[in-house]
Amino acid sequence: MTDEYRHDTRRTRDSRHTHDSHGDDATRSSGTTTPHRVVTDGGQPRRRAESGVALELSDVTKTYGGAATAVEELSVSIRDGELLVLVGPSGCGKSTTLRMIAGLEEPTSGDVRIDGRSVLGLEPEARNTAMVFQNYALYPHMTARENIGFGLRMTTNLSDEEIAAEVESAAETLDVTELLDATPDSMSGGQQQRVALGRAIVRDPSVFLLDEPLSNLDATLRARMRTEIQQLQRELGVTTVYVTHDQTEAMTMGDRVAVLSDGEIQQVAPPMDCYHEPANLFVAQFVGEPSMNTLGMRVGRDQFTGAVDYPAVDPLADAAHGVDQVTIGVRPEDIDVEPDADGEATTLPARVDVTEPVGERSFVHATLEGGPSVTAAVEGGAGVRERDQVGLRLPPDRLHLFDTDSGEALHHPDRESAAAAFGPA
């Protein structure tokens, strides 16, 4: 059903934008055939460059008024049909990046290519992207039907009947048929979001751009729409860039995640890679909930010293070779909380500040002797109480190591050992 409908729109669109038809069929059809994959040195599977890359940003920079840099030399390529999540704290340049792809803003330098063709200087409409906004941005004076059909009305010479059919079809896909004659002010946030999605898919875009589409929804609805958007994206097989500040959305939705900070890409990788092998301190702390504990230390002969000391065992010592200042990173779920310090160097004495039971596990917030606070996640109940003296064991094979000055990762724990740790226990 959906496929038929897509094909139909493409035919009519191609007759209007002949320049669009270049390479179009090749990229479209790849959604249904198994793509050839090659493995790049980054360890990420990639389709062959020519037809596989649907959207490519190279060295895209955006500065405002010569002073503020919103995006700096951002390069990323997105495979056909892939869902890439741009995630980062507010003001990191992710929405600006999205607007540059859409053509709402022009980059100061760099290139944006859609289906292999540079789209710089092209009007948004000619780029064949569709966008969904955080505040939905439905036209307030139009019904849902008019909202969804507006783009077709403006850019195509389809007859009223044809537009009506397209709108109905999109509405069916999103289950908003009963809402078609309602105006936005009479709809709930979730309904408006669906209509906004309908307005986006009806145009059969090459690239689907979503700017924090779920941020205005309540938690339950957000979780549901998260799944629905994923399903929709898979069904349509449309290349998607999804912007969010919510790392849960990033982790659960993306084929790959691009973590942005201060206008620069920190890491582009599948979500679990960002979690297990963060490229730097920023990613390490941004991804994961609660975020990774970090302890800044100096590299000594046989131990790392600082507010707390930790033995410099291999492979940590190896990784820290030639670096003065390191930061040890440890995920809350990798810390073992023991009733008391057993005197081992890897077990640090601490005092429990707060325990937070969150259902299947509990968070223990504690202050190490020496100052720094850490958070540990333990299965089930906490087993300890506030003001208890405990020992926190930081298993050496579960530690990440970062260069404090550059923030770059020096060492990651083995992912197998993580699987083992979580497995039978």
Partner 1 sequence: MTDDEPHSDGGTPVETDTLRPSQSTGRLGRLAETVVTQRVVDAAVYVLYAVAIVFFVFPALWVVSASLRPEGELFSYPFRLLPSEISLTAYQQVIDAGVATWLVNSTLVTILGVGGILVVSVPAAYAFSRFEFRGRRGLLGIVLLFQMISPVIIIVPLYTVMSTLGLLRTRAGLVLLYVGIQTPFSIWLLKGYFDTVPVELDYAARIDGCNRLQTLRYVLLRPVAPGIAVVGIFNTVLTWSEFVLAFTVLRSESRLHTISIGVYKFQGQYGNDWRAIAAASVIGMLPLVIVFLGLQRYFVKGLVEGSLKG
Judged by the rule CB under 8 A, the positions of this chain that interact with partner 1 are: 99, 102-104, 123-125, 129-131, 133-135, 137-141, 150-151, 154-155, 199, 203
Whichever of 96 and 280 has its CB closer to partner 1, that residue is 96
Whichever of 124 and 296 has its CB closer to partner 1, that residue is 124
The phi and psi torsions of 357 (rounded to 5 degrees) equal: -75, 130
Integer Rg of the chain from CA: 25
Whichever of 5 and 133 has its CB closer to partner 1, that residue is 133
Nearest to 388 by CA among 396, 398, 378: 378
Q: How far is the CB of 156 from partner 1 (least distance, A)?
A: 9
Whichever of 205 and 407 has its CB closer to partner 1, that residue is 205
Distance CA 55, CA 62 (A): 18
What DSSP character marks residue 229?
A: H
Distance CA 294, CA 285 (A): 8
Whichever of 130 and 299 has its CB closer to partner 1, that residue is 130
Q: How far is the CB of 23 from partner 1 (least distance, A)?
A: 22
Q: How far is the CB of 106 from partner 1 (least distance, A)?
A: 12
Q: How far is the CB of 349 from partner 1 (least distance, A)?
A: 51
Whichever of 198 and 332 has its CB closer to partner 1, that residue is 198
Nearest to 47 by CA among 6, 86, 80: 80
Q: Tell me if 39 sits within 8 A of 229, measured CB to CB.
A: no
Q: How far is the CB of 158 from partner 1 (least distance, A)?
A: 12
| Locus of tokens 């325990």 | 355
- Taking CA atoms, 338 is separated from 115, 177, 179, 335, 354, in Å, by 56, 57, 57, 10, 16
- Residue type for position 77: S
Which two three-digit tokens encode residue 354?
């707060």
Q: How far is the CB of 249 from partner 1 (least distance, A)?
A: 19
Q: How far is the CB of 110 from partner 1 (least distance, A)?
A: 20
Nearest to 128 by CA among 226, 237, 16: 16
Whichever of 98 and 287 has its CB closer to partner 1, that residue is 98
Residues 6+ positions from 311 with CB-CB distance below 8 Å: 302, 303, 304, 345, 346, 396
**CB 367: neighbour CB atoms within 10 A?**
13
